[in-house]
Amino acid sequence: MYDGQSNCNFILGGMRVNDEPKQSKSEGGTVQRLRLSPTKAQTTQQPTSGQKQPPAAEASTPEKLPQTKPVPPKPAPNAAQGAGKPAAAQTGQNAPTAAPPKPPAGAGGPAAQAAPKTDVSAFQPVSQARARRRHWGVVLSFLLLVLLPMAVAGFYLWTRAADQYASTVGFSVRTEEVGSAIEILGGITELSGSSSSDTDILFEFLQSQKLVRDIDNALDLRTIWSKAENDPIFAYDTSGTIEDLLEHWLRKVKVYYDTGTGLIELRVLAFDPDDANAIAEEVFAASSSMINELNAIAREDAIRYAREELENAVERLRQARQVLTQFRNRNQIVDPTVDLQSQAGLLGSLEAELANSLIELDLLEETSRSGDPRIVQAERRVRVIEERIDAERKKLGFGSGAEDGDFLANLVGDYERLVVDREFAETAYVSALAAYDASLAEARRQSRYLAAHVLPTLAERAEYPKREMLLGLIGLFLVLGWSILVLIYYALRDRR
């Protein structure tokens, strides 16, 4: 237990152990590093050199006592002990001799009066650490698994790895959205923007096997990337397949795509700066062609739809006109509405003439005698006009004989239906023709295009491979792997 001072006391088998750094000598002159004091300690003082040490037999008896639960003693400022055996109690500061310590109060019997022996073998000093075979094994594994691979990697990077030059190109897909003339007047037209879907398609295209094959056919990538003959790690093996070439492409061509802005940046590595620049230019040209193909497909879809609509409108108009022509030929009437207007005018004239004739007949009957030839002629005139009116009314579909055939009213109804069909077909044709013309105008304008914000660069200094960074990463992973193996070894060793 800690007594609040710089010294720590421990109760072991009824004895107090004091870890004071002060040393004392026993009879044999052996340095004692541990102090043992009785459970009931008194204030004592180290005897002077002239004083005689009391014999050890006076302090304790060789009788062993059964171990009992130690009683917490009262704290004592100083205590003395012997080396491996209990020391006799010393006298006060002025007393020449020291008497044996009294047993603690409450202890009865001769056995309780003697202090119990304490096994201090557990407090022997720890032996000095020595290097064992497993320690040398750990050091040897560090040399073999970490330092040796790093030395080999550094030797290869600085002596065998060929310099590589980088060419950078940056571009994005732009889309023009220009509306019609009505939208422009209304102020609801859009200018230009980027198409994220087309950019996603382009990003996948830059890592496709088709692009690698096309550029290999154009520039011979196998020869360009195999120029470093003494560098088997960074150079390409010309005997590889198209899959191997695609894997090497992904190592030498890095694509960085910003989904927020839609910008794509391409970095191409080669052993010659001109080769890297040529590959970057070819990639940009192939990407532009692919975007133009997508644009052409979209334009063709729009034109094909407008063309189909126009063809349907033309066919409908042709049928409407053909039916109207057959109607005119069958009824020998070009425009029944005109005939109807003529018949209505004629009928009105006849009714006016009939009214005049009736007025004259009434005047003759009032002023002439009966049997006057003028009255007979007037009556005949009225009768003829009435017969003519009835005949004209029958042509219009009125009268007692209207149900006997097709008359002008029915012909006008059929004609107006055919005219409506023809006018609707003409309106649909005009709309389809305007849509087709608009789609043609849209097809003539490139709505999607690839805009380069960084043209392919030509390097003047080799920046790759980054030897220091690669060696640092290799060392980091080797140290981590070695540490894991050492931890596994010691974990298994501790389980045994």
Assess whether 176 and 296 both reside in one domain. Answer: yes
Assess whether 293 and 380 both reside in one domain. Answer: no
Can you tell me the distance from the alpha carbon of 101 to that of 86, in angstroms, rounded to the nearest whole number? 11
Residue 295 lies in a domain: yes
Assess whether 281 and 300 both reside in one domain. Answer: yes
- pLDDT digit string (tens) for 341-391? 776 777 788 888 888 888 888 888 888 777 778 888 888 888 888 888 877
* Domain end call among 102, 126, 143: 102
Average pLDDT over residues 393-398: 66
Q: What are phi and psi of 37, to 5 degrees?
A: -125, 150
How would residue 224 be classed by pLDDT, with cut points 50, 70 and 90?
very high
- pLDDT for position 153: 93
Where are the strands (E) in 148-288, listed by range? 165-176, 192-194, 253-258, 263-270
Assess whether 297 and 335 both reside in one domain. Answer: no
Residue 363 lies in a domain: yes
Total count of domains within the chain: 3
- pLDDT digit string (tens) for 309-351? 889 999 999 998 888 888 888 877 777 776 667 767 777 888 8
Instruction: Confirm if 441 and 434 have CB atoms less than 8 A apart.
Output: no
Assess whether 273 and 346 both reside in one domain. Answer: no
Residue 137 lies in a domain: no
Q: What are phi and psi of 92, to 5 degrees?
A: -70, -170
Residue 136 lies in a domain: no
- Answer whether residue 84 shows pLDDT above 90: no
Greater pLDDT, 53 or 389:
389
Residue 229 lies in a domain: yes
Can you tell me the distance from the alpha carbon of 202 to that of 196, in angstroms, rounded to the nearest whole number? 10
> Which residue segment(s) compose the domain that 351 sits in?
316-443
- pLDDT digit string (tens) for 161-209? 999 999 999 999 887 655 444 344 444 344 344 455 788 889 999 999 9
Assess whether 300 and 157 both reside in one domain. Answer: yes
Let me know how long the chain is. Answer: 496
Can you tell me the distance from the alpha carbon of 475 to that of 146, in angstroms, rounded to the nearest whole number? 7
Token pair belonging to 184: 């422009």
- pLDDT digit string (tens) for 453-482? 899 999 999 999 899 999 999 999 999 999
Residue 143 lies in a domain: no
- Answer whether residue 25 shows pLDDT above 50: no
Assess whether 169 and 297 both reside in one domain. Answer: yes
Entry pTM: 0.53
Residue 133 lies in a domain: no
Strand order in the sheet with 15-18: 9-12, 15-18, 35-38
Residue 26 lies in a domain: yes
- pLDDT digit string (tens) for 237-264? 888 899 999 999 999 999 999 888 889 9
Nearest alpha-carbon partner for 104 in 90, 116, 121: 116
Assess whether 479 and 365 both reside in one domain. Answer: no
Assess whether 300 and 339 both reside in one domain. Answer: no
Assess whether 407 and 427 both reside in one domain. Answer: yes
Assess whether 274 and 157 both reside in one domain. Answer: yes
- With residue 262 as reference, give the H or E element that holds it: none
Cβ neighbours for 13, distance < 8 A, ≥ 6 positions apart: 67, 70, 116, 117, 118, 119
- pLDDT for position 175: 76
List, as one string, the DSSP characters of 87-127.
Answer: PPPP--SS-SS-PPPPPPTT--HHHHHSPPP---GGGSPPP
- pLDDT for position 329: 84
